[in-house]
Structure 1
Amino acid sequence: MPTSVATDAPRLEVTNLNRSFGGRKVVDDVSLSVAAGQVTCLLGPSGCGKSTTLRMIAGVEMQDSGKIMVDGELVCDTVTRVPAEARSIGLMFQDFALFPHLTVAGNIAFGLRGSRGQKAERVHHLLKRIGLPHYADAYPHQLSGGEQQRIALARALAPQPKIMLMDEPFSGLDNRLRDDIRDETLEVLKEEGTAVLLVTHEPDEAMRMADEIALMRDGVIVQRGAPYNVHMRPVDKDAAAFFSDLNIVPGRVHGGLVETAFGQFLAPAVPEGGEVEIVIRPQHIKIDFDRQGAGPNPTPQTGVPARGVVERARFMGKDSLVEFRMDFDGSILKASVPSVFLPKKGLPLWLMLRRDRCFVFPK
C-alpha cells in the first residue's frame, strides 16, 4: 500500500538503489532527491550507470534493492511496484521517437485522457508555449531537428507529469541550436513545476542546466552539490578532471608540507612521507616574462614562480593554450590565456600557480 504523502517530501526520492548484470554491479547504492521545479543532472562518463538508474526510476527496469518515492509515496521497492504508466513520470530521450504517421497535434495528444476539447486545449497551450502554434497539422518529417525536439518536449509534458526523466535529449542537435533549445526546454520545465532528472556525459550541459549535479563513476555517486561547488571543490583528481584539463605537480609530504618548485603547499590530511599530486587547471596558471633569467617576486596569492620554455601555442577561439616544458623536471604544463597569446617556441617564461585554485590530493 502507498505510504501517506508528506507535504515537505521531495518530488522524487531514490534511496539505496542497486542493480547488477552478470555479477557486475552497475548501480551501487545510489541515493538522490529532486524537488518540484528543480533540475538535477546525473553526470558521468558512458557506462557509469546513469541510464540504468533512469530506467529503474521510470519503471522500465527493476532494481535489485532500494526504493523509489514520488511525492512521499512508495512507487517501487522489492515488494511493491507501481506500473511505469502510473508513476506520473515523463520521459525524453536522444531519439525523439515521434510517430511519423501522426500530425504534431496527434503526437502531443497521444496518451492524453479527457474529452476531445480538453485534449485540443492542452495541445494548443503547449504548442503556443514552445513557440510552434501553427504547426498542429504538420508531420514530423516536415520539421527540423530543433522543432522535433520541441514537439517531443510538449508530448512528454502533455500529461503534466510530476517528474521528467531526460537521457541525453540534446545530443542529436548541432552545437549552435543546442544551447537555445536547452534554455527554452529548461524554462518550460521550470514553469510547469516539474522535477527534472537529466542524464548527460557533458559537463558544460550539466553546468548550464542543473541546480544540482550528482557526479557518477562506476555506478556510485561520488559527489553531489551545486554546480559551482562540484566544479570548484572536487572530491578527488578524477572529479576535477571530468570538468577540464589538469596540470599535475607531484610531491611528498614532510612535516605537513609539500615542497615543490612552486613553493610549499599544505597537506594536513596526508600522512608523513605520503605522495601527493597538486592539481591546477590551465586557466588558473599565471604567466610572467623572463627578466634576464629572473622572474617575478613570490607572493602569498601565487607562491614561488618556476621557469618553463614554450613548447607550443595554439589559439582556441576564445583563448590561447600554451604548453611549457618546465626547467625543474622537464614536465609539460599547460596554461590557458584569454584572447590571443602565441609566444614562439623556445621562449622562456615564468609560471605561477593561483594558490586558491590548487587542489592537493593523495596520489
Structure 2
Amino acid sequence: MSGPIPRLVPRLEIRNLRRSFEGRAVVDDVSLQIMPGQVTCLLGPSGCGKSTTLRMIAGVEMQDSGTIHVDGKLICDTVFRVPPERREIGLMFQDFSLFPHLTVAGNVAYGLRGTKAEKRARVEELLTRVDLLRYIDGYPHQLSGGEQQRVALARALAPRPRIMLMDEPFSGLDNRLRDGIRDETLSILKEEDTAVLLVTHEPDEAMRMADEIALMRDGRVVQQGAPYNVYTFPVDRAAVSFFSDANVVEAKVSGALAHTAFGRFLAPGVEDGTVVDIVFRPQHVRIDFDRAGKGPLPTAVDGTAARAVVERARFMGNESLVEFRMDHDGSLLKATVPNVFIPNAGTVMWLTIRRDKCFVFPREA
C-alpha cells in the first residue's frame, strides 16, 4: 500500500502579521501562503500596508506580532529573527537600485559567493536569459530603462533566492515596454520555481501576472483568490470599484427583492426596509436599440428597460464610453460599447442591465 500523500509546504507563509505606527494599525492580521513557482499579488491603494508587509518579510521592518515561515521553518517572530541577508529572499524595487560605478557584470555578481569563475558563469547564464550578454562589460547609464530593469532582475535572481519580493518594479517603465518586460520577468521567475510576492496598486498588472490576488484595504486583506474569482465575485462595492468603473443604483428591499427602475433584484437574507446598492460595471449595461420610443418592457434576463438621455460620448480606442442621465432619478450611468458608437447628446435611449452581472450590497453607513 502506498503511504499518505505528503502535504505541500508553502515556500512562504506569513501568519497574523501586525504592525502599528503611532497607534495606527498599518498592517492588521495579514496571513498569506505562497507555493514554489506561484505569483501572489498584494493589490491595493497607496497606504494600505502593502509595502510594510513586504519589508517585514524581507527583514528590514519588525512586526509587532505574527510569524514568518520559509519552507515550513520559522524565520521571524517577535523574539527569534533570521537576519535579512540569510533569508534567501530576493528584492526588486521601482528604482532598480543599480550601482552606477559597477559594470553590468559587477551589478549582477554583487552578493554572489563562490570562485571568480563560478560567479562569472552565473552572471553569463543570467544575462543570456535576459538577452543582455552583449552589455556584460557596460555600465547602467548606457542602458535603457527596460534594460536596467532586466539587469535588476538578473541581479536579484543571481543568488538563487527561494522567494522574490517585488515592490512596484514596473511602474517606472513606459507603457510600450511594460507588458513585454512583465511577461519576460514572469517567465524567468516561473522557470526558477521562485515564489513571488508582487506589490502593486494597478489592477491590470495584478490580473496579468498573478496566480492569486490578495486585495488589501486599511491594513487588512479583504479578499483573496484567483484573479477571475476576485474580479467576478467581489466582496463589497469598493472591491468592484477598485478593478473598474462601477455604476450604482440605490434601492430599498421588500420581500427579499430590491425594487428599481430596472425592475426587481433578488436580495436574499436582507431585511425589509434595508437600503442596498446594486452595483454593475459599464460593460454590462445594454442599450436596447429596438425599443427606442416604445416604453419599458420586461425581459427575463435583463429586467425592465429604463429611459435615459445621452449626456456625452467619446471613443476610447477599442470601445466607446457613453454617459447617460437617467430619467427616473437624474443620476449618471456609464455604458461601454464595442468599437465606435458616439450618439449625439440629448439622444433618448432605453437601457437594461444584466441580472447575472449585478452585485447587491447593503449600503454602508
TM range (shorter): over 0.9
Conserved? CA contact 2:296–2:305, under 8 Å: yes
**TM-score for the superposition, normalised by structure 2:** 0.96
Q: Give 1:212 deviation, angstroms.
A: 0.2
Shift of 1:330: 1.0
Q: Give the TM-score, by structure 1 length.
A: 0.97
Corresponding position of 1:357 = 357
1:198-250 per-residue CA deviation (whole Å, 9 max, x = no partner) reads 00000000000000000000000000000011011000000110001110110
Change in CA separation of 1:117 and 1:295 when aligned onto 2, cut-off 3 Å: farther
* Letter of the structure 2 residue corresponding to residue 203 of structure 1: P
Correspondence for 1:111? 111
Q: Deviations over 1:311-355 (max 9, x none)?
A: 000111111000111111111111011110000011111111011
How far did residue 97 of structure 1 move? 0.6
Q: Aligned partners of 1:168 and 1:361: how far apart in 2?
A: 32
| Contact 1:89-1:161 at 8 Å conserved across structures | yes
Matches of 2:147 and 2:168, distance apart in 1: 17
**RMSD value over aligned CA atoms?**
1.1
1:48 aligns with 2:48: yes
Aligned to 1:184: 184
Partner of 2:3: none
The range that moved more, 320-329 or 47-56, is: 320-329
Q: Which residue of 1 aligns with 2:148?
A: 148
SS in 1 for 2:17: strand
Between the aligned partners of 1:313 and 1:333, the Cα distance in structure 2 is: 12
Alpha-carbon distance between aligned partners in 1 of 2:24 and 2:183, rounded to the nearest angstrom = 37
- Which residue identity is paired with 1:198? L
Structure 1: runs of 5 or more not aligned: 1-5
**For residues 280 and 61 of structure 2, what CA distance do their matches in structure 1 show?**
41
What is the alpha-carbon distance in structure 1 between the residues aligned to residue 254 and residue 62 of structure 2? 51
Preserved CA contact (<8 Å) 2:292 2:349: no
List 4+ stretches of structure 1 deviating above 3 A: none
Q: CA deviation at 1:293?
A: 2.3
| In 2, Cα distance between equivalents of 1:13 and 1:297 | 54
Instruction: Give the conservation status (yes or no) of the 8 Å contact 1:289–1:295.
Output: no
1:115 and 1:8 map into 2 onto residues whose CA distance is 35
User: Number of residues paired by the alignment?
Assistant: 358
- Corresponding position of 1:3: none
Rounded to whole Å, the distance in 2 between the matches of 1:112 and 1:225 is 36
Structure 1 residue 297, shift from structure 2 partner: 4.1
1:132-176 CA-to-partner distances (Å, cap 9, x unmatched) read: 121110100000000000000000000000000000000000011
3-state SS of the aligned residue for 2:298?
Answer: coil
Deviation at 1:290, TM superposition (A): 6.4
User: Hey, what does 1:78 align to over in structure 2?
Assistant: 78
Please tell me whether the aligned partners of residues 309 and 345 of structure 2 are also in contact (alpha carbons under 8 angstroms): yes
2:157: which partner in 1? 157
CA distance in 2: counterparts of 1:325 and 1:87, whole angstroms? 57
Structure 2 distance, partners of 1:122, 1:170, is 24
Alpha-carbon distance change, 119 to 346 in structure 1, aligned in 2, over 3 angstroms:
same
CA deviations on 1:67-89 (whole Å, 9 max, x unpaired) are 00000000000111000000000
> How far did 1:269 drift?
2.7
CA contact (8 A) 1:290 1:349 kept: no
Asked if residue 231 in structure 1 is aligned to residue 231 in structure 2, the reply is yes
Secondary structure of 1:134's aligned partner: helix
The reply to whether residue 270 of structure 1 matches residue 270 of structure 2 is yes
What amino acid maps onto 1:66 in structure 2? G
Q: Distance in 2 between matches of 1:269 and 1:212?
A: 30
Shift of 1:300: 1.9
Cα offset, 1:288, TM superposition: 1.5
Report the identity percentage.
Answer: 72
The yes-or-no answer on 1:102 pairing with 2:97 is: no
CA contact (8 A) 2:296 2:307 kept: no
1:164 counterpart letter in structure 2: M
For the 8 Å contact 1:290–1:350, the answer to whether it is kept is no
Unaligned runs of 5+ in 2: 1-5
